[in-house]
Amino acid sequence: MVSARVMLVGFIAVCFAIKRITGEPFQVSSYNIDLDLPPDQRWLNVTQKYAKYAAQMVADIRSKISPLIIPLAEKLALYLHEHFPAPYPGELASVSHGLNISLADAILLNIFYDLSAFCTSIVAQDTKGNIFHGRNLDYGIFKILRNISFISNFQSKGKTVYTGVTFAGQVGLLTAQRPNAITVSLDERDRCCLWLNIFEAIFNKKAMPITFLIRDVVSSKEIEFDHAVKMLSQVPLMAAGYLIVGGTTVGQGAVITRNRENAADIWYLSKDASKSPWFLVETNYDHWTTPPPSDDRRHPAEKALTKVTQQKLTAETLFNVLSVHPVLNNRTVYTTIMQAKNPDLFNTWIRWP
């Protein structure tokens, strides 16, 4: 039997056969991260493949920091590194070696990835209660990201334990799946300036980067939807955010609106597949407010989903919704479609709107 993932890839290849000539869309590369290796060796082989982009990556990051405070930023990054839980210090060291950049720059890369993403995430269920999770990841500041995005299959004893989409140099996860358990994506919640987030993190050593928390959750043994929602709601974070979670059965979809300390709100799919809400759309604004006209991706996505109808919800139709303007826009780096119940469906495409 042809797998759902192969069918979805084929569908998208046919639909975009002409556009592929101009670069839209194409599948990202996929690499295995061996969790049985020591942390300081796990990312060496992968990051070395992207070392040619390292100078531009560092230049992009440093261009967002005033030259006057770069020395302070470096010291702050190394300070935070001392308080990161295992395995992240060791893995950041392997990133530093693999990309041939300083440890401070490797840490700064991860901090910026963690705090500066504009996105659209959708979790929805069909009439049978099958949960689909899709996301567009948008970045307006780093054009190079389309060249350094890839799927990471985190493996132990040759078996994939969990999967994520990462940028070269990133050890946390913005998009993740644990097979037959959960899917998670992160959207930024802009509550303050980036550097104030980092400075405030100094005073709460328990606070962690949100991408590290996502990875911790999907790496947890026996994790399931309710436990994941609880963890993602309660662990102190360096910055606010929106955590979109999908499970394996009817009603297992949620948008967690996070403050640094706790959840401000948890918004769920209906536990009855025949009733609303059968989909949740999260962009970068609290769902109980109205997005600004200058950045209203929510209503076009909701309109497109309503037009699709719950009866016709599939991975393919969800991909089409994520391809509607302005849900798909000139800042969109990639689109991911995933389904925890059917983990082979997980795939990611670079977008060139």
Buried b (16+ CB within 10 A) or exposed e, 278-296: bbbbbbbbeeeeeeeeeee
Q: What are the residues facing 122 on neighbouring strands?
A: 134, 281
Angstrom distances, CA of residue 90 to CA of 94, 114, 162: 7, 18, 19
Q: Is 259 exposed, middle or buried (0-12, 13-18, 19+ CB in 10 A)?
A: middle
The answer, yes or no, to whether the previous bond of 39 is cis (omega within 30 of 0) is no
Q: Which of 289, 299, 104 is nearest to 190 (CA)?
A: 289
Non-local CB neighbours of 281 within 8 Å, separated by 6+ positions: 120, 121, 122, 287, 298, 301, 302, 305
Provide the annotated active-site residues: 119
Nearest-angstrom CA–CA distance, 212 and 39: 14
| C-alpha to C-alpha distances, 117 to 15, 130, 136, nearest whole angstrom | 28, 28, 10
Q: In degrees rounded to 5, what are phi and psi of residue 130?
A: -75, 130
Q: Which residues does 315 contact at the CB level (< 8 Å), separation at least 6?
A: 4, 8, 132, 134, 337, 339, 345
Number of neighbours of residue 299 by Cβ within 10 angstroms: 14
Under 8 Å between Cβ of 282 and 295: no
